[in-house]
Amino acid sequence: MAILDVDIPSWSIDLIYGNTGSGKSFFAGWLIEQAYERGRRFIVLDTKVKNHIGLVTLPGVRLLKVKVGTRYNWRKLIDFDQVLVVPTRGTISRIGVDGLVEQYYKPLLDELFRRDRDRIIVVEEAHRYNPSSRRPGKELEQLFREGRDGKLYTVAITQSIADFPKLLFRQAQRHFIFQHYVPNDVIYLNRMIPGFSELNDRLREHDLIEFIPPNRTRIIKRELVVRRTRHFG
C-alpha cells in the first residue's frame, strides 16, 4: 500500500499542472501505479519517447509505439485494458508533437469517447489539444463534459494554467498543482483557489498542492510520492 493516500475514484477529471521539470509526469505515473494496483483500466498518451516507459515493466501493461505513416485500428486497441502509447523518435522528428496530437491522438481520444468505458485516460501536454487558450478542443471538451456517463476518468497534464481554457478548468474535480513562478499564472490561481499564494510559498521543489473545489486543499510532500517503476522524464 502507498504511504500517500490519494483516492482513485470510479470517475474524475484531474488536472496536473506546473512548470517544466516540476514533477508533473512523475506524479501522473504514480497515480497510474495506484490505479494499476487496484486493477483499473487505463491508457497513457505520452508525447515523449521514454517519459513513462517504465510503466511497461508492470505485468500486463501493453506498449504501442506510434510510427508516422502507419494506420492504426483504435477500436482494436480498446480491447486491451492497460496501455502506454508513445511516439517513436522518427515520428517526433518528422511531424513533431503537434502532428502526433492531430494525426494520431485526437482520433484515438474520439474513439475512446465513442466506444470505450470505465477507463482512466492520461493526456500529456493537454494544452496542445486546444485551438486557443479560450477555446477547448472537441476531444478534451467531450471527455470533460460528458465522460462521466461512461466512467471515462481523464487526467490532463499541462503547463501554463492561465493559458488553459477556463471551461475545462472549471470542470475539473481535482487539481494537483506544483510550485508556480510565472506572475500571470500566480495571479490567475489566486483568483481561482482560496489561499493559493500562501500555499505556493510553502512548496519546496517537487512538492504539490491537492485542491478539491470549492475549498479543500492540502500540501503533498515530495518524499511521499514513491514510485514503483522507474520514471525517465
Q: Specify the pTM.
A: 0.96
Residue 39, H or E segment: none
The grid coordinates of residue 188 equal 490567475
How far is the C-alpha of 203 from the C-alpha of 169, rounded, in Å? 22
How far is the C-alpha of 83 from the C-alpha of 121, rounded, in Å? 10
Q: What is the pLDDT of residues 102-126, one digit of tens each?
A: 999 999 999 999 999 999 999 999 9
Centroid of chain to Cα 220: 18
So what's the pLDDT on residue 206? 97
Superfamily name and number for 13-224: P-loop containing nucleotide triphosphate hydrolases (3.40.50.300)
Domain positions in the chain are: 13-224
Q: Give the 3-state secondary structure of residue 210.
A: strand
Mean of the per-residue pLDDT values of the chain = 96
Confidence of residue 160 (pLDDT cuts 50, 70, 90): confident
Confidence of residue 233 (pLDDT cuts 50, 70, 90): confident
Scan for cell 502509447, then name that residue: 85
So what's the pLDDT on residue 1? 47
